[in-house]
Amino acid sequence: MTGTKAPHFSTLAVHAGAVPDPATGARVTPIYQTTSFVFRDADHAANLFGLQEFGNIYTRIMNPTQGVLEARVAALEGGSAALAVASGHAAQFLTFHTLLEPGDDFIAARQLYGGSVNQFNHGFAKFDWRVVWADATNPDTFRAALTPKTRAIFIESIANPGGIVIDIPAIAAIAKEAGVPLIVDNTLATPYLCRPKEFGADIVLHSLTKFMGGQGNSIGGVIVDCGTFDWKGATHRYKTLVDPNPSYNGMVLADAFGPMAFALACRVMGLRDLGPAIAPLNAFLILNGIETLPLRMEKHCENAVRVAAFLERHKAVAWVNYAGLPSSPNHALATRLTPRGAGAVFTFGLKGGYEAGKKFVSSLKLFSHLANIGDVRSLVIHPASTTHRQLTDAQRIAAGAGPDVVRLSIGIEDAADLIADLEEALDVVA
């Protein structure tokens, strides 16, 4: 892209990071389905391996299709650099692998996707990385959870499954006071609805599997380095960033790469050694999905408001938790942080509780009962019996996945058809 004016979001979603293929002239970014890349000569190879020059070596570390995806997501989030990986969980893993040493703590909002709760509680414990839980609806609990070993704070912009809009600026202020980076999972909002960097985030993560790809056909994750955290001046020592690196002849990554040092460290120290690479085909499919992200998010949000308003009036429904409704205690915050809409994922409670929830999801015909969100198709799940089943009752309730909770991910179908399907299933339950 050329010109002195910054392109608008919809233009970036189509063009950022991409140029016609120099070898063939192909306008769409090709799928570079290859393991390795030929070096021009011995000096070129040495420069690539020594981080003296950027380029492609081996698809586990970087691939041209992946490179376009990374540039596009970084542009949409306003970041300095990005790293695309195999999944959202892989993005979280590489992020904390870069930040933490054995025995370190991080604080996380307890209102999180159940898989993240499990990863933080159990998977990370094997590395002696310790999670301390806080309440995303009460920013002061993050300050109270700080310890001398705290190295990061982790939240979601819109919580999954509860649909709660999180006060990013308030929690960012606490992270800044503590001298630790704020990590925001922006999967449910996408940069179309919210750019966490503008509210104080230092690192932004996505499960690209969800709204960014949008088609339910590929899995991927991404780490966006906002370029805002001062690793050299931090209160705590982030060894991967500030210590001389023996893998690269004593290079200090924070000195050599400045505002893109974190993303590069995740690539050359995390992805290189641990290997959760994104497949070129998945990068290609997600890139194509991002091109229609603005159009899809508008329709997702428009439909979600109509569906939530219908559910709020139904006699079989005990409550609806959607920040797009004026009755929501999160509505004012959503208007401030996500003015284009409150997203398309929300929960509601059935008066019949656990058994009613299971019966309801089995009675739907248009909604697909599966463990995903962010598809063009409308999706439903009963978290207590599925995604959050591995948690205790107390953990499920704390995460917004109590026994009566049903989670909807509203697609881009006609809203009238979605409402008709929900009404029939509710009549069965009632």
pLDDT class for 3, splitting at 50, 70, 90? low
| pLDDT on residue 370 | 93
Average confidence (pLDDT) over 21-26: 92
Q: In percent, how much of the chain has pLDDT > 90?
A: 88
| pLDDT on residue 54 | 93
How would you class 143 by CB atoms within 10 Å of its CB: exposed for 0-12, middle for 13-18, buried for 19 or more? middle
| pLDDT on residue 294 | 98
pLDDT class for 71, splitting at 50, 70, 90? very high
CATH number for the region 293-429 comes to 3.90.1150.10
Our measurement of the distance from residue 225's CA atom to the centroid of its chain's CA atoms, rounded to an integer in Å, reads 13
| pLDDT on residue 385 | 81
pLDDT class for 390, splitting at 50, 70, 90? confident
Dig out the tokens for 39 from the structure.
């070096």
pLDDT class for 160, splitting at 50, 70, 90? confident
Q: Which residue has the higher pLDDT, 395 or 410?
A: 410
| pLDDT on residue 81 | 98
Reduced to 3 states (helix: H, G, I; strand: E, B; else coil), residue 161 is coil
How would you class 50 by CB atoms within 10 Å of its CB: exposed for 0-12, middle for 13-18, buried for 19 or more? exposed
The DSSP-derived string for 192-247 is: HH--GGGGT-SEEEEETTTTTT-SSS---EEEEE-S---STT-SS--HHHHS-BGG
Mean pLDDT over the full length of the chain = 95
pLDDT in tens, 236-282: 999 999 999 999 999 999 999 999 999 999 999 999 999 999 999 99
Work out the number of other CB atoms within 10 angstroms of the CB of residue 40. 10
**In the chain, where the domains are located:** 9-289, 293-429
CA-nearest of 126, 85, 410 to 270 is 85
| pLDDT on residue 4 | 67
pLDDT in tens, 110-121: 999 888 999 999
Q: Which helix (H) or strand (E) holds 134?
A: strand 130-134
Fold of 9-289: Aspartate Aminotransferase; domain 2 (3.40.640)
pLDDT in tens, 246-259: 999 999 999 999 99
Q: What is the pTM of this model?
A: 0.95
pLDDT exceeds cutoff 90 at 338: yes
Work out the number of other CB atoms within 10 angstroms of the CB of residue 162. 26
pLDDT class for 5, splitting at 50, 70, 90? confident
**Contact call for residues 340 and 192 (beta carbons, < 8 A):** yes
Q: Which helix (H) or strand (E) holds 30?
A: none
- Separation of alpha carbons 216 and 228, rounded Å: 33
CA-nearest of 164, 156, 161 to 183 is 156
